[in-house]
Structure formats: structure tokens, C-alpha cells
Amino acid sequence: MFKKILIANRGEIAARITATCRELGVGSVAVHSAADSSSLHVRLADEAVNLGDGPSSENYLAQDKIIRAALDTGAEAIHPGYGFLAENAAFARAVAEAGLTFIGPSADAISAMGEKVTARELAIASQVPLAPGSDGAITSAEQIHAFGAEHGFPILVKASAGGGGRGMRRINSPADIDDALESAVREAESAFGNGEVYLERYLTNARHVEVQVFADSHGNAVYFGDRDCSVQRRHQKLIEEAPAPGLSDSLRRDMGEAAVRLAREVGYTGAGTVEFLVEGERFYFLEMNTRIQVEHPVTEMVQNIDLIAEQLRVAAGEPLSVTESGRPAQGVAIEARINAEDISGGRFIPTPGLITTIEAPTGEGLRFDAGYESGDEMQPYYDSLIGKLIAWGPDRDAAIARLREALDAMTVDGVRTTIPAAKLILDHPDFREVRFNTLWLESTVEFPEDVDDLDDTLARNEVEVSGRFYTIPFFHDVVPGAIPLAVGGAPAQPETGGTRNRNGGGRRKAKKKAFDGQITSPMQGTIIKATAEEGQNVSAGDVLFVLEAMKMENPITAPVDGTIGQVLATVGDSLAAGTLLTTLTAAEARS
């Protein structure tokens, strides 16, 4: 086993890896940007190296700096976590060339499975079923038109080097092709440094089921059960569970064996996940993630295994602790990702800012993998994941009940979160009866325009005095379609104008201020697309700008029909929350 490793990541996964290192007696080295100097993963590690200021490309993605930090601190190996450099073949190769161990598969395996076109060819060689897709990468809208004419719509355009929903766009009709291709390529280049994309026929009634595989250097390759990750927005997961509910034993076995065949075909070592789309008793290869997954805790809880520890042992040359596939799951585990996002209207807009309080429930069958603690700043430069709340139960109903109760008991103050969305999902009869697919959340679940309608806890602008509740109103200008931001970037609670019934009663609706003609930035971020032009007539809902914040593209739309005034923002501008982008004279005002 290693004496010391460097963790080339941040947030909850870096904290999670550090915890296992401590249990195994392995020293841990954190790396961090200047902005992350006081973050949780830095505080937990035995040592920390500051990689400098600037965007991620100058620190968390700076391969030379990370390898130098490992060498300077005496680390023997580097664990990449997920995201950033986790699936970067060049980084894995550079780590090995520096005399260090990369805790993951070989560079060749990463390259083969990371290039989704090559991965499809390997799946064919492994006799793993595939959904219809393009023959290689595509470069033009004309190719998408031709694919749609042959296979129909909807279609997914996907980043060849992608993962985590980045560089992926759904095309519902020919009218969507140009914008979807441009957006997917742009995001792929930003996230992975590779703008190559390909096409897949989108299955409209499929579930997203993945199989956890593991292989060592002694010839062992196994699968540790499956997970369902169908509850998604923007192709990014919100709720995951193990085992995937409602699957036949034969389907589980066939998927697991197919995943192992694929791992063997590519000469895989370490932890990996093979993702499938499932319709009825049929399954289709989606992609292979050559890293640990965000949702790995649900597998750990039903398989009674520490997958991070297994990664370290395999990388150190030891054999797998379990060498037989298909161990039955013990109970059910369900995970809710707690992200700093405002779910109002189903928009899931990032909400960076100061997290004043995080209190997660503890007890039997509960686990919280945290990336932040009370008093930490949720930076706008990184993803929105605060942590993951996981519940175990002897059966699915018990796991759902335990997670639902835990969500009620969890407190996060200072930023809005996806906790209300997780409650909605768990309470929905479709979820409880396994009547969902990858489109279900965005097409079926209704999110109120005011997220406070879902919140059965004390609002931040209410106080309790002698058992009675009083409202202390905030006075914020509210622009339709924008998120009102308070000090520190946290969303402000709307003025309620009355008291709150603690037993679940409603409260009076806030009256939004009439649109004042100003289009402002709803959060700190960078303009990556600007379509608004002075004098242009637009309709309500038209996209005027696209703002990138917390690794998400956020469209800024016209709240009313009207005419654009002077445009004050251009592509590349980094803006503070509330910055004036343009003005809009409402059509009613023109007449």
C-alpha cells in the first residue's frame, strides 16, 4: 500500500478520498486553487499545495503543476477523483512517465473508452448491444439532418471526450440542429478541451442504468451490481439508487456480464462504470466512465465495500478483495445530490454564495458525503455540488422513507439548494412505483415558480418569538425570469407579507414588481453567447444571452415582448450578479 498520495481534485470527492486514506493510514496531499485555500478538502488533508490563482485551467487542470506538487511532497501516486483530469489519458500517461502511479486505468484504456466513437467500436467487438449512432464524429449540421432523416428524432449530439452531461444536447426537430451543435461543441471544448461530437438516437422511454465494474492486474474482472440514475435534469443526475429497481434477474446478469466483457476487451484495471439505456428487457450501451462515479456510495452501502480503498489497493498492485461477480445487494440505498441551485420553475439555476449553515442528520442507515461545512463559500467557478445525502433501508420503501425523513431534517442556509426537488421526487407516485425514465423529471414533475411553496421549514426572513412567527420583509426588486440575489450572491427570500403556519399551511404570495425594463445578470458568471442586438424585436422567452456559471450554461431570456436597447455585455465578459446587460422596452410601452 502507498504511504502517501496526492488527490488531484476538490470538493466532496477530495474529502471522500482523504477519509479513506486516513482509515488506511495513507498520507494525503491536497491541491487547490487560490480561491479554494480555506476549503474543506484542504482542511482535511495532511498537506496542501496551492496551485495558484486564475481559472481551473491554471490550477486544477494544470498537469505539470500537479505532478510537480506530487514529486515535491513525496507522494507516490495521484488519485484524480472525478471530473477535471480523471479521464484525461495524457495526464495518466504523464503521471506514469514521472515515476508516479495513476490511481485508475491505463492511459490506453482511458483513451479508448473516453473517445466515445472508439468505445462504440469496442462495444461491438464485445457483443454489447448499441443504440443507433453516427459512424464516427460529425462536423456539420448537414450530417445531423441526414442522420435524422434515416433514424428519426429526437437525437442526442454528444461530446466524444465527454461525461457528466457536458457537451450533450437533445435535438427534437431539424429546427434545433444549428443551436444544439454549436452549444455542444462550445461546451465540450470548454469542459474537456476537445470539441469533437457524435450522434446517438435518443430513446424516449429508456431508463439510465449503470453497472459498477472493477478489474485488477491479476486477471480478475468483476461487476458489483447496478444503479439506476434515470432522474436527471440537463442530462445530470439528481437521485441515484442501488440496486436499480424493477429489473429481472436475467437482465441484471446480462448487463453485468456485458460490462465485464467490455472491461476485458479494453484491458481495464481499477474502477469503472458501464452505462446502459434500458427499455423493457432490452439494454443498449451508452458509454463507459473510466473513473469513480459521483454515485458510488449507493453501491458501497448495498455491497458492503469501500470502492476508494479498493482503488488504492488495485493501483498498488494488490488483487481485488472480491473476485466473484454478481454478489446480491443487501437492501437498497438511495442518494440525493444536494446542489446549490434554485429549482424555481424547474430551471435549476446555480446559487453561489456563503453557506452559513450545513447540518446533516446522522443515524442508522444515513451517510452524508460533504464538500462544504458551515461558513464555507460556494464559489461560482466550480460545480454546484454541496454534498450527497444517502440513506439505506432493508427494502426500497424503507430507504425512500429514511431519505425523505433525512431531507426534512437537513438544514442548508445561505444558498438555495435542490433539497426541495429531492422531496418532490421522492413523494411522487411515479418514483415510488418505478414509472419513470430519463425524460420523466423534466417532462412530468411540476416545480412551482416560488420554491418557498415547497419549503416546510422556517423561512430565513421569519423569526419565532414566544411561539409566534413574524415576518421581517426583504425589499428586493424582482425581475420576472431572474433570480433576486442578496448579499454574497445568495438568493433572497421573497417578501411574504404575513405569518407562516408551521403545520403546513400556506403563506401569502409575494407580488413581483412590474418589469422595469432592465435585463441584468442573475448571478456571477461569464457571457459565452450574446444574441441580443440593439433595436431587435424579441418575444417573451427568447434567449438574449447565455451565462456560464458553476460549470452550467444558463440562458437569460426576455421576460416580455419588446425591443432591445443598448447592449452592454459581450462574449467573454465576466460579470457580477446584478450587472446590467441591456434594456428592453416592452411592446405595451411602445404602443
Question: What does the pLDDT average to over 296-314?
Answer: 98
> Between β-strands 101-102 and 77-79, what pairing exists: parallel, antiparallel or unpaired?
parallel
Question: What does the pLDDT average to over 457-479?
Answer: 38
Residues 248 and 346 in one domain: yes
- SS (HEC) of 524-590: CEEEEEECCCCCCEECCCCEEEEEEECCEEEEEECCCCEEEEEECCCCCCEECCCCEEEEEEEHHHH
Does residue 507 lie within any of the structural domains? no
- Classify residue 476 by burial, with Cβ atoms within 10 Å: 0-12, 13-18, 19+: middle
Does residue 194 lie within any of the structural domains? yes
Q: What is the tens place of the pLDDT at every residue in 351-379?
A: 999 999 999 999 999 999 999 999 999 99
Q: What is the tens place of the pLDDT at every residue in 11-61?
A: 999 999 999 999 999 999 999 999 999 999 999 999 999 999 998 999 999
Does residue 379 lie within any of the structural domains? yes
Residues 322 and 411 in one domain: yes
Residues 90 and 145 in one domain: no
Find the CATH number of the domain harbouring 40: 3.40.50.20
Find the CATH number of the domain harbouring 181: 3.30.1490.20
- Considering 201, 231, 252, which residue would you say is the last residue of a domain? 201
**Per-residue pLDDT at 548:** 83
**Alpha-carbon torsion 71, 73, 79, 84, what sign?**
negative
| Cell 425589499 belongs to residue | 475
Residues 379 and 287 in one domain: yes
- Considering 103, 121, 141, which residue would you say is the last residue of a domain? 103
Contact 65/72 with Cβ under 8 angstroms? no
Residues 348 and 400 in one domain: yes
Residues 187 and 99 in one domain: no
Range of the domain at 172: 132-201
CA distance 311 to 379: 29
Question: What does the pLDDT average to over 82-107?
Answer: 97
Find the CATH number of the domain harbouring 308: 3.30.470.20
Does residue 217 lie within any of the structural domains? yes
Measured CA angle at 316 (ends 24, 43), to 5 deg: 40
Give DSSP secondary structure letters for 378-421.
E-TTS--EEEEEEEEESSHHHHHHHHHHHHHH-EEESS--SHHH
Q: What is the tens place of the pLDDT at every residue in 425-435?
A: 999 999 999 99
**Per-residue pLDDT at 475:** 34
Question: What does the pLDDT average to over 96-105?
Answer: 98
The torsion of the CA quartet 145, 149, 151, 152, rounded to 10 degrees, works out to 90
Residues 318 and 439 in one domain: yes
Residues 15 and 164 in one domain: no
Residues 357 and 293 in one domain: yes
Q: With pLDDT > 70 as the criterion, what percentage of the chain qualifies? A: 88
Q: What's the one-letter identity of residue 123?
A: A
Does residue 551 lie within any of the structural domains? yes
| Cell 415510488 belongs to residue | 432
Question: What does the pLDDT average to over 387-396?
Answer: 98
Compute how many other C-beta atoms are within 10 angstroms of the C-beta atom of residue 289: 21
Cα of 249 vs its chain's centroid, Å: 30
- Considering 201, 225, 246, which residue would you say is the last residue of a domain? 201
| Cell 441526414 belongs to residue | 146
Question: What does the pLDDT average to over 316-343?
Answer: 96
Residues 189 and 215 in one domain: no
pLDDT surpassing 50 at residue 482 = no
Residues 87 and 145 in one domain: no
User: Among the listed ranges 156-160, 285-289, 557-561, which one has the minimum average pLDDT value?
Assistant: 156-160
Report in angstroms the alpha-carbon separations of 107 from 91, 287, 401: 8, 17, 43
pLDDT surpassing 70 at residue 492 = no
pLDDT surpassing 80 at residue 453 = no
SS3 495: coil
Does residue 125 lie within any of the structural domains? no
Contact 39/89 with Cβ under 8 angstroms? no
Does residue 178 lie within any of the structural domains? yes
List Cβ neighbours of 198 (8 Å cut-off, separation of 6 or more): 116, 117, 133, 134, 136, 137, 138, 157, 158, 160
Q: Is the peptide bond before 154 cis (omega within 30 degrees of 0)?
A: yes
**Per-residue pLDDT at 526:** 87
Residues 398 and 295 in one domain: yes
Q: What is the tens place of the pLDDT at every residue in 526-555?
A: 898 999 999 999 999 899 999 887 767 788
CA distance 519 to 532: 11
**Per-residue pLDDT at 496:** 34
Find the CATH number of the domain harbouring 530: 2.40.50.100
CA distance 317 to 293: 22
CB-hemisphere CA count at 13 Å for 325? 20
CA distance 266 to 365: 37
Question: What does the pLDDT average to over 197-214?
Answer: 92
Does residue 239 lie within any of the structural domains? yes
Structural domain total, the chain: 4
Q: What's the one-letter identity of residue 577?
A: A
Q: What is the tens place of the pLDDT at every residue in 130-144?
A: 988 887 889 999 999
